[in-house]
Amino acid sequence: MKSLKISSKPENVAAVEKFIDDMRSEINIGDDVYGNILISMTEAANNAIIHGNKCDESKDVTITYELDDRGKNLTFVIKDQGPGFDYGHLPDPTDPENLEKTHGRGVFLMMQLADLVVFSDKGATIEMQFRV
């Protein structure tokens, strides 16, 4: 298992991008899966920093990944130190009244791009799995 801990500054999403790039140099994954992982993980990290930890630099976001024994499933866990959120009642970004909004698509994108998404700790922890 590999891990990354960042403080809750929006510019630290760049460290998450590097973490994913470094992971790709160790694990052979196709371009499509890599793109899905990169988008999902940067969205998750951004949400954890901004919404979870409210950009409080004294709070951390922790990201881990692990490849299963068969080398088929890559699992990421993103954890913030916030109170969580009601992930079961998010506005639908495809609803016509939400199409013009510039936010509110991160969880939707994660759900579309990852093979499995599980929320725990009242939404403060997200597990995403990708088939590689």
pLDDT value at position 107?
Answer: 87
pLDDT value at position 94?
Answer: 66
**Cα–Cα distance for residue pair 122/59, rounded to 1 Å:** 17
Angle made by CA atoms 115, 117, 122, in degrees to the nearest 5: 180
pLDDT value at position 37?
Answer: 98
pLDDT value at position 104?
Answer: 59
Domain layout of the chain by residue ranges? 2-131
pLDDT value at position 130?
Answer: 98
| Number of neighbours of residue 118 by Cβ within 10 angstroms | 13
Domain 2-131 is found in CATH 3.90.110.10? no
pLDDT value at position 98?
Answer: 58
Q: Strand runs (DSSP E) across the chain, as ranges?
A: 2-7, 60-67, 73-79, 116-120, 125-131
Angle made by CA atoms 52, 53, 55, in degrees to the nearest 5: 125
Q: In a structure prediction context, what are the per-residue pLDDT tens digits for the chain, which is 132 residues long?
A: 999 999 999 999 999 999 999 999 999 899 999 999 999 999 999 999 999 999 999 999 999 999 999 999 999 999 999 999 887 776 665 666 756 665 656 788 899 999 999 999 999 999 999 999
Strand partners, 66: 75
